[in-house]
Structure 1
Amino acid sequence: MIRTPTLEFRIREKIRKSRRIVFLRSDFKALGDYDQIGRALRGLEARGRLARIGQGLYAKARPNRITGKTMLAAPGGFDQVSKEALSRLGVRWEPTGAERDYQSGSTQIPARVTVRVYGDFSRSIFYGNYRLMVEAVAA
């Protein structure tokens, strides 16, 4: 008897094979209907394979080797995940002055992930105690 793979398995495989770190819920709409995908994504989140970082936004996750708790799988942490999420959402953004200074050699490390966003952007991107701070710039 041949078993067909579950929706959760197909989503997990799609995530595993992808080079992306951030996924939109709409990335999986070809695999099933809205409610089924929601249940599968919640299941993957409960198992520590995904982390919800906003409404309809998910990031690859893995267990921390020391604590065993779920953490973001991106090498750049929340900073990388939040910026990739903005790009995936089609938002035009740029780093703030503090980050540009740090990248050009300043020893002052920016304490929070902050970006300048052009146009309207009202979504919230977060993970645990981390939250993306947004400076709005008139378009």
Structure 2
Amino acid sequence: MVAKVKKTLERKIYYRIKRAKVSTFIPSDFADLSDRDQVLRVLRKLIQKNIIIRVGQGVYTRARISSITKKPVPEQNLRIIAVIALKKSGVTVLPAHYEREYNKGKTTQVPTGIVIGVNKRVNKKIGFNGRFVKYEKVSNR
């Protein structure tokens, strides 16, 4: 008789991160596996193993190793990471002022994407390597 290998919480979370379609996670994504403290402990272990990166308080993203610096960097750009994290947190993401101006053809300056329009106050600091996303409160017009 072959003994079954017991799946640890770390293996379950690692598998879920690797198989997920999106690369941004918040601890509540793993709430069905265990309690918050154990999930956070496992996420810290995965950070040490360079599988994920912490880009904000309670915001994690899959990592890849940079070919230049040989250090872990996010798989996607900061704007995509921030938009996914905000949507998972229940915040509506809208086009910022400069994005709307560019889309209407009133300006030819391309928005950087580092300013994100939101429908309510956001107190999440999301960033990597000294570069952080900024928020602009936009009415839902």
Q: Give the Å deviation of 1:138.
A: 5.8
Where does residue 48 of structure 2 map in the other structure? 46
SS in 2 for 1:30: coil
The superposition leaves residues 40-62 of structure 1 with CA deviations (integer Å, 9 ceiling, x where unpaired) of: 10011111111112221111111
| 2:92 matches 1:121 | no
Unaligned runs of 5+ residues in structure 1 are none
SS in 2 for 1:31: coil
Where does residue 61 of structure 1 map in the other structure? 63
Q: Larger Rg: 1 or 2? A: 2
TM-score normalised by L of structure 2:
0.83
Say what the alpha-carbon RMSD is for the aligned residues: 2.3
Where does residue 29 of structure 1 map in the other structure? 31
**Residues 95 and 114 in structure 1, CA contact (< 8 A), matched pair in contact too:** no
Where does residue 83 of structure 1 map in the other structure? 83
2:125 maps to a residue whose letter is S
Q: Give the Å deviation of 1:104.
A: 6.8
- Alpha-carbon separation, structure 2, partners of 1:47 and 1:100: 41
Matched pairs, number:
137
Unaligned runs of 5+ residues in structure 2 are none
**In percent, how many aligned pairs have the same letter?**
31
